[in-house]
Structure 1
Amino acid sequence: MKLTHLTTIAIIFVCTTIAWWLLGGVITQRTAQVGYQTGDDVSGRWGPQLIQKHPVARYTSSNGSSMVLQPAKSDVKVQLAYQPVKMGLLWHRTYGVKFEGAYTFTNTTAITQMLNVGFDLPAGKTLLDKVHFTLGEGATARHAVAAPQEGMISDSVQLAPGESLPIKVSYECRGMNFWAYTFSDTSRIRDFNLTLNTDFQDVNFPVSSPTDRRATDKGMELVWKYEDAISAPGISLEMPREINAGPVAAQISFYAPLSLLLFFVVILITAISRGVSLHPVNYFFMAAGFFAFPLLFSYMLDVVPVHLSFVIAAVTSLLLVCGYLRAAAGLFLFRVAVVAQTAYMVLFSYSFFFKGLTGLTLTLGGIVTLGVLMALTAKVDWSQKLGAVSPRLA
């Protein structure tokens, strides 16, 4: 094969790569714009990232300073219902939460104290429903009816030395991305128990893992238990990751040159070893057929589900490239092209739907390709083939 032909094929590859990268940039910008426009809209209508703070009580000491009192016992129950919302090319990880907290405060001082119990509600534009805040229990229970001040429900009660005050708090609201429970003062957390039930099993803990977990019929039951912990970490749970079509399409476009490079290598070596003459124009049409895959996939996403878009785009590209090679180079090269394009374009691109598999897929594909080509061409006299096979320019 003449050097000028290899140079022309290289130029075709470089130009196709630039076109793919431009397409990837357009998809990325389009996705970011849609995400920016819809993210605030979803957050405003559904709810923000929810952070629930551990309650505290305050009292004034004999010297006039304000003292903070942690609950002597905490029993928290949380239910998360995952309800993702799709807008444009993006899924937003929204959910509903039911919160119930039972806390006990104990006057550990030697004198009667006036405790001011405060419970911080989740911050932001959060629609809170069925809010209940109760001090005491039984016939002496008192339900707070005052509206929250600066995002906090608070009430005061007088406790004798050693006397305990149970409080109960419950509400329902909606949020997005993650739910968290934090401790404002982690110096010492006693007798704390939080049970979180989900209707999904794809769980991720950015801060601390639960002390116990088990699968349920609908999802997971997760338990955080601190008997007497110092510097207890907060609790956080991310919602499941959704397949966002925009970022996947952009990644496929950015990494598509690797698929084309492997395909070109296979076709080039196979053609030379079999004595098949392919002109650089043939490689131009093959590159165009490859380019059709991410182009069609990215612009079908607005009207067709993501997996169906992928199948239609992949089949279209396979028909273009492999059908063209069948007509231009014969049955054997057609069979090679079907296997190579399915492996390098379809399977490699589909690996972007699975986190962490792309690099492994590319590595295995490259190694298998090298092994197959070495086995098929081990006895080929390359000096004879490269000298004998030279495509004629029209």
Structure 2
Amino acid sequence: MTPIRLLAIALIVACTAVAWFLLGGALAIRTKETDQRLSATVAGNWGQPIVQKHPQAFYIAPTAARTKRTIQPEMSKVKVSLHSDPKKKGLLWYRAYTVDFDGEYTLKNPTPIVQTVYVSFEFPAKEIRFDRFAFLLGDLPTKKSPKDGVITEAVILEPNEEVSLHLSYAAAGLDHWSYTFGDAPKVSGFQLEMVTDFAEFDIPAGSESPTERQPAETGGWQMTWNYVDVIGAHSIAMEMPAVTNPGPVASRMTFFAPVSLVFFFAVLIILGSIRGINLHPMNYFLLAAGCFAFQLLFAYLVDLIPILFAFGVAAVVSLALVNGYLAGVAGSRFALLGAVAQFAYMVLFSYSFFFDGLTGITITVGAIVTLALLMFFTAKTDWAEVFRKKNDTVAKPFPPPVPGTGGSVVS
């Protein structure tokens, strides 16, 4: 292996890296444009993040100022059932879900006189379909339609009299569901029981963790939040499970592919030098093209078939191209070493992008293991001999002239 050939191979790696960067950029732009184009459609079909507000009740104080006085529920028992139902559009998965909400509240007239108490329910989001909606104040269901997203009913209560409020609905949303207490200075007698059908859950930052948690029969969790007497209560929220998005994964995988190619070619060059297999730069050009086929095929398959299946098909095709060619050029034994190297550096490294936070450690471990193996197998290699040019041999002396030939040399 001469320095000129090494320079040619480095140029091939650089050109292949440019091709990968162009492909990764195209994937990133395509994913972004798809998300922007479909955002309104997705929200219209599958809803928005649902933020359920605590019911509001108030009465008008019989004073000259006619001040509005807020009443907080004496008791609240809320049941929420969340069903994760992710939807795919183009290169993106959207974390859609359905929610069944049921709330029982008790309101009380805290004054020593008869009061007309107004109870308002603010719908958690606009342009969302609410099925099986129920609003019962006492035993009377509301007949009103929402005005600016709010339904308000009134009831006359005797001093210290209580009235029940029942709210329920089924709706579809995106990303997360939350329950907020607004400006309530104090929350008393509140309990929320949430049942999910997914095992992986995430409590958003700034939200309260559940008081109790246990596995549910649905395969998810049954969680309970109890607020006996809480001042400054934080919201209750649940993020939907993370879904692997084909577009971003394919884009990141493509941008980092040159790292894999450098490792792969380094192994081929060093092992080839040890075994006396000196591949031509044209061979490396075709091998690089076979490696590039992995990300290229994967980038366009993820839009048509499940992401893991697309990954498997692309990996098998690339392995067959590269190592089939390598077997024809350098023999089956060297091709077997190449297959192991490509599987480790191209396939396993790319697979790490399916797991957030593992890419960096994968590169680090791969580099250290590669270094250790190469140091072990090349410890006794005479590198001066390996990189010596074939024509760096001592020139043979010309034979002496034959007498009687006039000084000419007879060969």
TM-score by structure 2 length? 0.90
Letter in 1 for 2:151: I
What's the CA shift string for 1:314-365, capped at 9, x where partnerless? 1111111112222222233212211110011111111212222222222221
> Match of 2:294, as an amino acid?
F
- Answering whether residue 112 of structure 2 is matched by residue 114 of structure 1, we say no
Distance 2:154 2:388 in 1: 95
CA contact (8 A) 1:79 1:196 kept: yes
Partner of 2:350: 349
Q: Which residue does 2:42 correspond to in 1?
A: 42
By how many angstroms is 1:110 displaced?
Answer: 3.4
Once residues 365 and 159 of structure 2 are traced to their aligned partners in structure 1, the CA distance between those partners, rounded to angstroms, is 70
Q: Once the 2 structures are TM-superposed, how far is the Cα of residue 388 of structure 1 from its aligned partner?
A: 5.5
Q: Which amino acid aligns with 1:12?
A: I
Determine the C-alpha separation between the residues in 1 that align with 2:250 and 2:89: 16
For the residue of structure 1 that corresponds to 2:164, the secondary structure is strand
Name the residue aligned to 1:198: 196
Q: Letter of the aligned partner of 1:40 in structure 2?
A: A
SS at match of 2:232: coil
The residue aligned with 1:358 is: 359
Whole-angstrom distance in 2 between the partners of 1:230 and 1:379: 73
Q: Which amino acid aligns with 1:199?
A: D
Corresponding residue for residue 71 of structure 2: 69
Corresponding residue for residue 318 of structure 2: 317
Specify which of 142, 145, 162 is matched with residue 143 of structure 2: 145
Q: Deviation per CA, 1:278-302: give whole Å up to 9, x if none.
A: 2222211111111010001111223
Determine what percentage of the aligned residue pairs are the same residue: 45
Q: Deviations over 1:218-267 (max 9, x none)?
A: 12111111111111111111111222211111111111111101111111
Distance 2:44 2:281 in 1: 55
Gap change, CA 1:190 and 1:388, over 3 Å in 2: same
Matches within 5 A, 1:45-194: 45-61=45-61, 62=63, 63-136=65-138, 141-194=139-192
Q: What is the rounded CA distance, in whole Å, between the counterparts of 1:123 and 1:88 in structure 2?
A: 26
DSSP 3-state at the match of 1:343:
helix
Contact 2:2–2:389 (CA under 8 A) maintained in structure 1: no
> RMSD of the alignment, in Å?
1.8
SS at 1:123 equivalent: coil
What is the CA–CA distance in structure 2 between the aligned matches of 1:286 and 1:142, rounded to whole Å? 76
Counterpart Cα distance in 1 of 2:40 and 2:74:
39
Residues 71 and 104 in structure 1, CA contact (< 8 A), matched pair in contact too: yes
Mind listing any 5+ residue stretches in structure 1 that lack a counterpart?
Answer: none
Which residue is 2:400 aligned to?
A: none
Give yes or no for contact 1:272–1:389 (8 Å, CA) kept in 2: no
Considering only CA atoms, is the larger Rg found in Structure 1 or Structure 2? 2
Structure 1 residues 159 and 389 mapped into 2: Cα distance closer, same or farther (>3 Å)?
A: farther
Kindly provide the amino acid, as one letter, of the partner of residue 182 in structure 2.
S
- Three-state SS of the structure 1 residue aligned to 2:372 is helix
Indicate conservation of the 8 Å contact 2:216/2:222, yes or no. Answer: yes
Give the secondary-structure state (helix, strand or coil) at the position aligned to 2:59. strand
C-alpha displacement of 1:147: 0.9
Cα distance in 2 for residues equivalent to 1:367 and 1:76: 54
Cα displacement (A) at 1:159: 2.2
Instruction: State yes or no: 1:213 paired with 2:210.
Output: no
Correspondence 1:26 to 2:62? no
1:227 aligned partner: 228
Q: Deviations over 1:39-69 (max 9, x none)?
A: 3212112211111101121122335222222
Gaps of 5+ in 2: 392-411
The residue aligned with 2:243 is 242
Q: Which amino acid aligns with 1:244?
A: N
Correspondence 1:295-306 to 2 at 5 A = 295-306=296-307
Q: TM-score, normalised by structure 1?
A: 0.93
1:176 Cα deviation from its structure 2 partner: 1.5
Cα deviations by residue, 1:44-100 (Å, 9 ceiling, x for unpaired): 122111111011211223352222221111110011122222222222221211111
Amino acid in structure 1 at the alignment position of 2:6 = L
Q: 2:309 maps to what in 1?
A: 308
